[in-house]
Each structure stands twice: as structure tokens, then as C-alpha cells.
């Protein structure tokens, strides 16, 4: 194993120097981040995975792996009990105290940056492949995903008038938390040829009813989930602001699996095309 180093794989270049590379291929890998776990599977390296976090739900067989908890609330005990010789994590994984403890235990910890576009997905694939020391496999997978992005771009060019959509992250208590710019949600909207109806800020923000009505989205996009954060069709109709938007009036609502829609892994071009088809009726 390498010494106490945190490596970071960025989007502009792979920040893995020869001095920092493992002396042998890691065989006990923990993936922190659903998209990264997907990439490991897509690279044909599932047999090296010994653990994953709660955001990893695809492919279904990943559920059989030990769950080390939510990626932003990892415990050192949960990680160390799996005796990993490599941890691959999304940026934002933590808390920092846990990462520090992994370094003290001399467990290589590689963080892979995320960007919510085609280049970001391809860089993630190359980053994971580099960390697993299978660069040729990474090239092959990236080429396959790039070809699907090219097909998506052709479909996007056929759109004459883009729809305007609002991505709703949460509607707890009837308060709408929607996506502005620079999020996975805004990224998938752009890839699907859809304009974000919510502008003027980055990240996610609670909107007033007046702001929701003024955004006047043609469509509403949400993750397909239950609980307090979900929003049923009946709740959309009854909502004082959503109910009067073009989306609410026409009940143009799309719900998709969260990891598929927002993961920005190998299935992202498929997710963007599925969203496009759902909004246009496949035309």
C-alpha cells in the first residue's frame, strides 16, 4: 500500500503521480458514491469491491455489499472493519475527521471530482480506471459512453423549442426547494435539451410561492421517492403556486430514479435521453 496520502483526481488532469501510485493493484476496494460504484461495475471490476455507501443502488446486486453509511457521514470504524486497501470517493465525502483517520491507518483515499456535463462523466470514468490501474478498460468504457453522448447530442439538435422545467429537490411542508445553476439537476436538464426555469442563483434554494409562480415551468422534474420530501400529483394540483404553473395545469410531471437521473455516471446519456423522451412523448 501507499503511505498516508490523499490523492485527488481532477477534471483537467489525473492527479496521480508515479510516486503516489500503489505498488500493486488494490484488491479490497470501497466505493463511496453511487456513480463511482457504477463505474467500477461497468469496468468489470465488481469482484474487487468489498463495500459501498448508501447512495450506491445500481446495479441491484450491489445491495449485497456491506453498507458503510452515508457518504458525508462516514465512520472510521465502518470503513476499517472492511480492511480496504483502497477507498475511492466522490468529492464531498467525509467528514474530514474520518478521512484523516483513514490516512493515519495508511489506507489510500482517492477523491474523484465531479462536473455535471459530458466531460465530467468521461473524466470520472478515466479517474476510477486510473485508480484501479486498468487504464485500457477506462478508455474502452469512456469510448462507449462518449458514443452514447454523441447520439444524445443529435437528438438534442432536433429540438426546435426547448421546454422550461423546474427540478424540485424537496417539497417538505409544501415549501419548494428547487435547483438553480451548477447542480446535477441543472446539468441533466441541459443535456436533455431543457431550459432551467429557475435562474439567478447556484445550488438549491427554497422558493417563495411567488417565485415558483413567476418561474412558470412547462414541466416539473423530481426524483421518484416517497417520504416527506415527495410530492404527489394531488399535492401539485393543490399547491397554491405549482397548481397555476403551465406544468401544474397540464400535469406535465416526470419522476425518475435519483441515481439514474443525477448520478453522472456511465448511464447519464441514457438518463438524459429518457428525460427528453418523457417530456416530448418520444417525438
Domain end point (choices 109, 126, 149): 149
What residues make up the domain containing 127?
Answer: 6-149
| Beta strands 176-179; 204-207: pairing state | antiparallel
82-137 confidence digits (pLDDT tens): 999 999 999 889 999 999 999 899 999 999 999 999 999 999 999 999 999 999 99
For the cut 60, the answer to whether the pLDDT of residue 24 exceeds it is: no
Domain shared by 20 and 81, yes or no: yes
Q: What pLDDT score was predicted for residue 228?
A: 66
Q: CA nearest 30: which of 73, 60, 69? A: 69
Q: Are 35 and 136 in a shared domain?
A: yes
- The residue with greater pLDDT, 279 or 22, is 279
Mean pLDDT taken over the chain: 90
Mean pLDDT value across residues 213-221: 98
Same domain, 252 and 276: yes
Does residue 186 belong to any structural domain of this protein? yes
Residue 253 is assigned to a structural domain of this protein = yes
Per the listing, cell 426546435 goes with 160
156 within some domain:
no
Res 17: pLDDT: 29
Per DSSP, the residues of the chain read ---S-EEEE-SSS----GGGS-SS--SSEEEESHHHHHHHHHTT-GGGEEEE-TT---SGGGGGSPB---TTS--HHHHHTT--SEEEEETT-S-HHHHHHHHHTT--EEEE---SSHHHHHHHHHHHHHHTT-HHHHHHHHHHHHHHHHHHHHHHHT-SS--EEEEEEE-GGG-EEEE-BSSHHHHHHHHTT-EES--SSBSEEEE-HHHHHHH--SEEEEE---STT---HHHHHHSTTGGGSHHHHHT-EEEE-HHHHH--STTHHHHHHHHHHHHHTT-
Supply the pLDDT for residue 173.
87
- The answer to the question of residue 188 being in a domain is yes
In a domain, 90, yes or no: yes
Please, which residues have CB within 8 angstroms of residue 175's CB and are 6 or more apart in sequence?
206
Same domain, 100 and 132: yes
Range with the poorest average pLDDT among 15-29, 74-88, 173-187, 254-268: 15-29
In the chain, the number of structural domains is: 2
Phi-psi region of 229 (alpha: psi -120 to 50; beta: other; left: phi over 0): alpha
State yes or no: pLDDT of 21 exceeds 90: no
In a domain, 263, yes or no: yes
**Averaged over 22-42, what is the pLDDT?**
88
Which has the closest alpha carbon to 219: 260, 277, 173? Answer: 277
Angle between helices 135-157 and 118-131 (to 10 degrees): 170
Last residue of one domain, picked from the residues 100, 122, 149 = 149
pTM more than 0.85: yes
Q: How far is CA 102 from the centre of its chain?
A: 24
- 158 within some domain: no
Q: Are residues 30 and 133 in the same domain?
A: yes
Last residue of a domain, one of 149, 173, 191: 149
Same domain, 189 and 271: yes
The answer to whether residues 110 and 64 belong to one domain is yes
Q: What is the CA radius of gyration of the chain?
A: 20
Domain of 250, CATH number, reads: 3.40.50.1980
- How many CB atoms sit inside 10 A of residue 161's CB? 7
Rounded Cα distance between 111 and 127, Å, is: 9
pLDDT of residue 59: 97
Cell of 85: 486497501
Statement to judge: residues 139 and 253 lie in one domain: no
- Determine, yes or no, domain membership for 157: no
Amino acid at each position: 500500500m501507499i503511505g498516508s496520502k490523499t490523492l485527488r483526481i481532477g477534471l483537467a488532469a489525473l492527479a496521480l503521480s508515479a510516486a503516489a501510485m500503489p505498488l500493486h493493484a488494490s484488491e479490497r476496494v470501497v466505493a463511496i458514491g453511487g456513480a463511482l460504484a457504477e463505474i467500477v461495475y461497468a469496468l468489470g471490476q465488481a469482484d474487487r469491491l468489498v463495500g459501498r455507501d448508501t447512495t450506491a443502488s445500481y446495479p441491484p446486486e450491489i445491495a449485497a455489499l456491506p453498507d458503510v453509511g452515508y457518504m458525508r457521514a462516514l465512520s472510521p470504524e465502518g470503513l476499517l472493519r472492511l480492511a480496504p486497501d483502497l477507498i475511492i470517493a466522490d468529492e464531498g465525502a467525509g467528514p474530514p475527521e474520518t478521512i484523516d483517520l483513514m490516512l493515519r491507518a495508511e489506507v489510500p483515499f482517492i477523491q474523484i471530482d465531479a462536473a455535471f456535463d459530458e466531460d465530467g462523466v468521461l473524466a470520472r470514468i478515466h479517474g476510477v480506471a486510473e485508480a484501479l490501474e486498468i487504464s485500457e478498460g477506462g478508455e474502452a468504457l469512456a469510448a462507449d459512453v462518449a458514443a452514447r453522448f454523441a447520439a444524445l447530442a443529435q437528438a438534442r439538435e432536433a429540438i426546435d423549442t426547448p421546454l422550461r422545467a423546474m427540478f424540485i429537490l424537496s417539497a417538505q411542508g409544501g415549501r419548494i426547494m428547487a435547483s438553480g445553476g451548477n447542480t446535477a439537476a441543472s446539468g441533466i436538464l441541459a443535456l436533455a435539451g431543457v431550459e432551467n426555469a429557475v435562474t439567478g442563483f447556484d445550488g438549491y434554494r427554497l422558493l417563495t410561492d411567488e417565485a415558483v409562480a413567476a418561474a412558470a415551468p412547462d414541466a416539473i422534474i423530481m426524483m421518484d421517492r416517497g417520504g416527506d420530501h415527495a410530492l404527489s400529483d394531488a399535492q401539485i394540483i393543490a399547491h397554491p403556486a405549482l397548481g397555476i404553473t403551465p406544468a401544474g395545469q397540464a400535469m406535465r410531471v416526470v419522476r425518475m430514479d435519483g441515481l439514474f437521473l443525477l448520478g453522472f455516471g456511465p448511464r447519464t446519456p441514457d438518463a438524459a435521453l429518457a428525460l427528453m423522451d418523457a417530456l416530448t412523448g418520444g417525438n
